[in-house]
Amino acid sequence: MEQERDDSVYRAQNVASATDATIHVATQQQKPVRKFFQRKRIFTSIILFLSAGIAIFLLGKYTEYRSYHVTFQEKHTLPGQQTIFTLSDGSIVELHNEATLRYPEEFKGFRREVYLQGEATFEIERDSLRPFTIHTHEFRTTGIGTSLNIKTTADIITVSVAKGIAHVEAGDNMQIVLPKEKISYSRITKKMIKANVDTTHEFASR
């Protein structure tokens, strides 16, 4: 009887050991599966985060486009004619003989940009958050609260500053123009030359 009892106990222990081994093996097999799903959840979260970021970026760009989508007006002077007018931001423009200025009906967003052919004198209204840029061909002149004169011909662009500071650039060339200074830019050689100048003539009518 005792032998039978010992055999029963031995068999029960073997069954328990086999069960424990099976559970251990199953647990070890489940670990890679759990890691896989954990990584999948992390990867899915990253994808969702990036997708949300891209969506917000595109929405911002669309909003920016809508805010910058403006209606342009154009003023032109005839031979021997000059005209003075005020832009929507309060900047004053004197358009000289046979010149054309293309400008927004209303400045929107963080930019104030106009396009000039010929000669014009600008009294730029100060707005430190919205620099004022004048485009003349590939040449750009930017100021904040600046009085300046720009004259364009087929080959030469000149910028004279009476008050404030102007930043001029064309391609890789950049210069700062101070009061009573003038920059001459050659569209042929792509070079800038700075000189001192008496701005009385350019601003005589102002």
CA–CA gap between residue 43 and residue 174 (Å, rounded): 46
* pLDDT recorded at residue 185: 96
User: What pLDDT score was predicted for residue 50?
Assistant: 63
Give residue 128's pLDDT: 86
Examine the pLDDT at 3 and tell me if it is beyond 60.
no
Rounded Cα distance, 116 and 103, in Å: 9
Region 91-97: mean pLDDT is 96
Which pLDDT does position 44 carry in this prediction? 72
C-alpha 49/C-alpha 160 separation (Å) is 51
Q: Which amino acid is located at 72 in the chain?
A: F
pLDDT tens, residue by residue, 140-192: 999 988 999 999 998 999 999 999 999 999 988 999 999 999 999 999 999 99
In the prediction, which pLDDT does 75 show? 95
pLDDT digits (tens, 9 = 90+) for 163-173: 999 999 998 89
- Three-class SS state of 40: helix
**pLDDT above 90: residue 7:** no
User: Which residue has 């950049």 as its token pair?
Assistant: 174
Rounded Cα distance between 195 and 16, Å, is 99
Q: For 11-59, what is each residue's pLDDT tens digit?
A: 545 544 555 555 554 555 555 656 655 666 766 766 765 665 575 555 5
Strand residue runs (E) in the chain: 72-76, 83-86, 92-95, 100-104, 112-117, 119-123, 132-136, 139-143, 147-152, 156-163, 166-170, 173-177, 181-186, 192-196
Q: Is the pLDDT of residue 119 over 80?
A: yes
For residue 88, the 8-state DSSP code is: T
